[in-house]
Amino acid sequence: MADFKQNYFQRRTKDRGPRSNNRISSPEVQVISNDGENLGILNTNEAISIAKKDGLDLIEIAPNANPPVCKIMDMGKFKYDAQKKANLAKKKQKIISLKEIKMRPVTETHDYKFKVKNAKKFIAKGDKVKFTIKFKGRELQHSHLGNELMSKIKEDMKDIGKVELDPKFDGKQMIMVIQPL
């Protein structure tokens, strides 16, 4: 009874990585040697014995093929190479963030130029820029000021970015998104 409880309550872990050696369930496998030579279709036990003779493992590379493709190589080296490949892919991925620049329809020219200069810096780094013009109180009646400001922004940014989302009203604010060329 104690033996049953021990086995029953043991933590069951998922198998990580490809199947190797005795975990390969297929009776026959396509075998590739350590130096890349195709050894043909062999009995799984025979392929494992060839791998053990060289002091290596038989690792299932393509389990969905018929018969499964296995390679004779060192399991530690295989896992290390897979980890290196994953880290390299993670390092190369580019994350594009969205920067927001807020203005008012009555923004003065110096402030406007300063904000556009910052937006150009963001776009040069590869980020998208969201321009937001907030309207307060009676300013909503003069939405043409917001349209004029947005068209001025479009004109100033056309050499470095293109409009992804055209100017539109969202409640009491007008938004526009510009992305790098």
Does 25 share its domain with 69?
Answer: yes
At 13 the three-state DSSP class reads coil
Which of the 8 DSSP states describes residue 10?
S
The pTM for the full model equals 0.53
Which of the 8 DSSP states describes residue 107?
-
Would you say residue 4 lies in a domain? no
- CATH number of the domain at 176, please: 3.30.110.10
| Distance of alpha carbon 16 from alpha carbon 61, whole angstroms | 14
| Structure token digits, residue 12 | 């069951």
Q: Which domain holds residue 149?
A: 98-180
Q: Which of 47, 80, 113 is where one domain is finished? A: 80
**What length does the chain have?**
181
Q: What is the pLDDT of residue 100?
A: 93
Which of the 8 DSSP states describes residue 95?
P
Per-residue pLDDT of the chain (181 residues; tens, 9 = 90+): 555 555 666 666 666 668 888 888 888 999 998 888 888 888 888 888 888 888 888 888 888 888 889 999 888 888 898 899 989 988 888 777 889 999 999 889 999 999 999 999 999 988 999 999 999 988 888 888 889 999 999 999 889 988 988 999 888 899 999 999 8
